[in-house]
Amino acid sequence: MQKQFDVAVIGAGAAGMMCAAVAGQRGKKVVLIDHATKLAEKIRISGGGRCNFTNINAGPQNFLSQNPHFCKSALSRYTPQDFLSLMKRYRIGYHEKHKGQLFCDDSSEQVIAMLKAECDLGNVSWRMPCSVANVGKDGDLFRIDSSAGEILASNVVIATGGLSIPKIGATDFAYRIARQFDLDVIEPQPGLVPLTFDAAAWQPFLPLAGIALPVEVETGDKKNRGEFKEDLLFTHRGLSGPAILQISSFWKAGAPLSLNLLPEIDVVSTLIEGKTSVKKNLGNVFAQWLPTRLAHGIIEANKLDPAARLADMPDRQLRNLGDAINRWTILPNGSEGYRKAEVTLGGIDTRELSQQSMMSKQVNGLYFIGESVDVTGWLGGYNFQWAWASGTAAGLAI
Ligand SMILES: Cc1cc2nc3c(=O)[nH]c(=O)nc-3n(C[C@H](O)[C@H](O)[C@H](O)COP(=O)(O)OP(=O)(O)OC[C@H]3O[C@@H](n4cnc5c(N)ncnc54)[C@H](O)[C@@H]3O)c2cc1C
């Protein structure tokens, strides 16, 4: 078995396969190493099995990082249109679902097969399943101690992703290698994750589990503010749905969330105007706007009677009720953690890497790509776009 390569890519997920294919097709001798038994499990389960593989509107504004400018170079050199051209070459059908999010018509397995075929075109060698015990550097050569024996390479690309979903093989390998070579790591945190609440405080909301509705949600201060208009889902442990997954990446422990449960209606003024009609009561007005269980939950939480007539209620009471709907402020006590998080915030500090090549500024030949780096996309295909773009940037630079 061949032992020495131009490039060893560790992690055969989205970014690793892209990088290996690009480097291989440029004539580099590439080996792709992964400890999993099943290839690219995260791509397979993504987008409910249909892989939201990019977002046509993807740009630097859709990413979180300590350095928001870092991602610009790679994203501008490998765009969503570039990935679409690849999909078209492989005749993989896709459709837009919502806000520029592109999904496969059939299955995410098609994306995996396409990337595998691209690696084959680049004559990429595979070591899988194969675990890596150590990566050392001897002069210009990296020595990788692996379960498939020693592998020597002039360049090593770390593409082992973040900590999300340990059950399917996520590890802290990238952070360990970074620290071993004295590179800074921004503390990782779960992102795109459901938020939880104190069990006793959440008790009154338990009957609402399963209810979904479009909301506006915001958190943060002027410097780091998140604002999204998406669907909210009540769960048994707290809140989820796209609105909460998006805002979770901006949420800081101890900070409240502000939710507008009826973004299209100014509830205070509509309730006060409604006082002119003798027939209108809280129950029937709210039932027009909100799912019945939620409408009753809010009325009861405010210790009011659904049969109460608007005309008989003081403005102060209606104002409180309106605020509870248009400006509901809640304090999460945590998140569901890496078990449920779609991504990992933080990672290899971008100040350590070249934005053109993704190579370490300190360690010649050592690259980090994909989710291992402190660049995290919003929900909606952005994280794969970063994997394709950063993988291509490294693949072209090696
Ligand atoms: C449930 C779910 C759904 C998602 N849906 C979407 C979506 O629809 N659209 C989107 O844009 N993003 C989505 N994401 C996020 C997206 O999957 C990731 O951001 C993306 O896969 C990151 O690519 P990566 O190559 O950096 O890492 P990964 O794809 O995670 O690949 C890392 C690879 O490294 C391997 N590895 C890890 N540790 C080691 C080790 N120690 N030794 C050897 N190999 C190792 C793993 O086995 C894996 O194959 C989703 C994530 C989850 C969890």
Look at 179-188, 270-279, 305-314, 315-324 and tell me which has the smallest mean pLDDT. 270-279
User: Would you say the CB of residue 177 lies under 6 angstroms from ligand 1?
Assistant: no
User: Would you say the CB of residue 11 lies under 6 angstroms from ligand 1?
Assistant: yes
What is the predicted pLDDT for the residue at 369? 98
What is the predicted pLDDT for the residue at 36? 97
What is the predicted pLDDT for the residue at 219? 97
Sheet bearing 101-104, strands edge to edge: 52-55, 101-104, 94-96
CB 124 within 8 A of CB 30: yes
Which residue bears the tokens 């952070």?
Answer: 175
Please provide the size of the chain in residues.
398
What is the predicted pLDDT for the residue at 277? 81
Distance in Å, CA 229 to ligand 1 centroid = 26
**Which has more pLDDT, 44 or 299?**
44
Distance in Å, CA 268 to ligand 1 centroid = 45
Rounded CA gap, 161 and 391, in Å?
A: 12
CB 103 within 8 A of CB 94: yes
Return the CATH fold of 4-190+339-397: FAD/NAD(P)-binding domain (3.50.50)
- Average pLDDT rounded to a whole number, residues 177-189: 98
Query: What would the pLDDT profile of 34-81 be if each residue is shown by its tens digit?
Result: 999 999 999 999 999 999 999 999 999 999 999 999 999 999 999 999
Does the pLDDT of residue 278 top 90, yes or no? no
- CA-nearest of 108, 155, 158, 107 to 132 is 158
Torsional sign, CA 300, 304, 310, 314: negative
For a mutational test of ligand 1's pocket, the pick from 9, 33, 39, 42, i.e. the residue with the most ligand atoms closer than 8 A to its C-beta, is 42
What is the predicted pLDDT for the residue at 221? 84
Which atom from ligand 1 is nearest to the alpha carbon of 165? 53
Element (H, E) at 187: strand 185-191
Which atom from ligand 1 is nearest to the alpha carbon of 11? 34
Confidence of residue 1 (pLDDT cuts 50, 70, 90): confident
Domain extent listing, the chain: 4-190+339-397, 195-335
Nearest CA to ligand 1 atom 31: 13
Confidence of residue 366 (pLDDT cuts 50, 70, 90): very high
Longest dimension (CA), the chain: 86
- Average pLDDT rounded to a whole number, residues 152-157: 98
User: Would you say the CB of residue 322 lies under 6 angstroms from ligand 1?
Assistant: no
Distance in Å, CA 188 to ligand 1 centroid = 15
User: Would you say the CB of residue 32 lies under 6 angstroms from ligand 1?
Assistant: no
Which atom from ligand 1 is nearest to the alpha carbon of 15? 25
Which atom from ligand 1 is nearest to the alpha carbon of 371? 26
Rounded CA gap, 263 and 382, in Å?
A: 26
pTM as predicted: 0.96
Does the pLDDT of residue 222 top 90, yes or no? no
- Average pLDDT rounded to a whole number, residues 259-280: 92
Return the CATH fold of 195-335: Elongation Factor Tu (Ef-tu); domain 3 (2.40.30)
Q: How many helices (H) and strands (E) in the chain?
A: 13, 21
User: Would you say the CB of residue 345 lies under 6 angstroms from ligand 1?
Assistant: no
Which atom from ligand 1 is nearest to the alpha carbon of 47? 8
* Top mean-pLDDT range of 190-204, 268-282, 347-361: 347-361
DSSP letter for 100, please.
T
CB 110 within 8 A of CB 44: no
Confidence of residue 204 (pLDDT cuts 50, 70, 90): confident
Rounded CA gap, 94 and 104, in Å?
A: 4
Please count the CA atoms within 13 angstroms of the CA of 149 that sit on its side-chain side.
6
Cα distances from 353 to residues 12, 297, 337, 368, in angstroms, run 21, 51, 28, 8
**Which has more pLDDT, 270 or 301?**
270
Which residue bears the tokens 């593409």?
Answer: 159
Rounded CA gap, 134 and 362, in Å?
A: 19
**Rounded percentage of the chain residues whose pLDDT exceeds 90:** 91
Confidence of residue 201 (pLDDT cuts 50, 70, 90): confident
For a mutational test of ligand 1's pocket, the pick from 383, 385, 386, i.e. the residue with the most ligand atoms closer than 8 A to its C-beta, is 383
What is the predicted pLDDT for the residue at 14? 98
Does the pLDDT of residue 13 top 80, yes or no? yes
